[in-house]
Structure 1
Amino acid sequence: MVIDLVEQFRKVIKGNIEGLDQGVALLTSMTNEQYCMCAKPYINSSIGEHLRHVLDLYYALKSNVDMIDYDMRRRGALVESCRMTGLSELEQVKTWLLTLDPDMMNNKVIMSTEVSVVDTLVVQVETSLIRELIFVSMHAIHHYALMDVSAKFCDFDTPKNMGFAPATLTALRNDSSCVQ
């Protein structure tokens, strides 16, 4: 089986941008006050804090293509409390994605992250940029689902299909018994 790497790259970039566009749609539909609300006691982080976390993983990819360190975080950054900063950063990541070269997608890189909730245990594994782009996109969807729940607890609506995985949406489109 021959895999067309350029076509795979195109699909991954398209999927990432679609996911980031969900974030843009969410932020565009809310106020800064809603962006900063916490749905305590159910969810302890605001939508802004979740978005900062999502963006931090993209920035880990963007900042160093040889060593991806997912533990580098910007806790307390302006993006957590300023919806307009969130919108700007989403657009910056989208712009960066469109500059990526398909030839670098399968280059080997090292990914570093903590893996224990009890001790400080860091692992480093070999991976590729395309695989990590898939990961950060799926990770963003997970956080979008949390943002969706948070918004509902705070009594405001989110865009349709917010936080649904691509495979779930495909299943819903293909199964007439699943009504969305």
Structure 2
Amino acid sequence: MKIIIQSAIKTLNKTEYILSNISNEIFCDTTIPPYNSSIGSHIRHVLDFYDCILKDSSKIDLIARKRNLEIEQNCKNALDYYNEIIEKLGALNEDDLEKIVFVTDDLGLGKTVIKYTFSALMAQANSHTIHHYAIINYILDGLGNSLKDDTFGYNPTTPKVKNFN
């Protein structure tokens, strides 16, 4: 089970890579349609998700995330938040992964409570992070920027596209 924690940390380490390789201007840019969201808003959202699930509680409310705008407007603030999350992930153990948690979320029809194992919630958080990285990659491309990481925003199970040139 410890692999779930290692996977989450490995995926989240790409956040540090992003924050170290773009400017605050790029981080905050909201000019790319169709959603006009910033890289910062996606990073903040991902970190908020982890912050929410890493509270020492069997009741987790995904609707009640921090949503601190200072995180999405400054790479250094986001990096500090990222480091807090990585530290909390590193403190998890096997027993934490086995516990049952009750997650409140809104799936489009109002609040509902879902029973999970913490490891299942961690797996969801990891996939959720990769999904947001894909959106960040789209934003970067729209801004004429790219990362030197061919795996960024791709789920590890995604088949590799062959180049037929």
Query: 1:76: how far off?
Result: 4.8
Q: Which residue of 1 aligns with 2:126?
A: 137
Q: Distance in 1 between matches of 2:56 and 2:40?
A: 24
Instruction: Give structure 1 stretches of 5+ with no counterpart.
Output: 1-7
Do the aligned residues in 2 keep the contact of 1:26 with 1:159 (CA within 8 Å)?
Answer: no
Q: 1:100 aligns with which of 92, 97, 101?
A: 92
Q: 2:139 aligns with which of 126, 129, 150?
A: 150
Q: What TM-score results when the alignment is normalised by the length of structure 1? A: 0.84
Letter in 2 for 1:110: F
Query: 1:57: how far off?
Result: 0.7
Instruction: Give structure 2 stretches of 5+ with no counterpart.
Output: none
TM-aligned CA distance change 1:88 to 1:159, over 3 Å: farther
Q: What TM-score results when the alignment is normalised by the length of structure 2? A: 0.91
CA deviation string 1:59-108 (max 9, x = no partner):
11112431111111333521010111111111211111110121121111
Q: Which residue of 2 aligns with 1:165?
A: 155
Answering whether residue 101 of structure 2 is matched by residue 109 of structure 1, we say yes
Do the aligned residues in 2 keep the contact of 1:114 with 1:122 (CA within 8 Å)?
Answer: yes
Q: 1:86 aligns with which of 78, 81, 92?
A: 78
Cα root mean square deviation, aligned: 1.5
Q: Distance in 1 between matches of 2:14 and 2:141?
A: 16
Query: 1:43: how far off?
Result: 3.2
Q: Distance in 2 between matches of 1:61 and 1:76?
A: 16
Do the aligned residues in 2 keep the contact of 1:47 with 1:150 (CA within 8 Å)?
Answer: yes
TM-aligned CA distance change 1:76 to 1:62, over 3 Å: closer
SS of residue in 1 equivalent to 2:63? coil
Give the number of aligned pairs.
Answer: 162
Q: Distance in 1 between matches of 2:3 and 2:55?
A: 22
Q: Which residue of 2 aligns with 1:77?
A: 69
Answering whether residue 157 of structure 2 is matched by residue 178 of structure 1, we say no
Query: 1:159: how far off?
Result: 3.7
CA deviation string 1:143-169 (max 9, x = no partner):
00000100110111124121000111x
- Bigger Rg, structure 1 or 2: 1
Letter in 2 for 1:124: V
Letter in 2 for 1:166: P
SS of residue in 2 equivalent to 1:105? helix
Q: Distance in 2 between matches of 1:56 and 1:64?
A: 15
Tell me the percent identity.
Answer: 24
Q: Distance in 2 between matches of 1:47 and 1:143?
A: 9
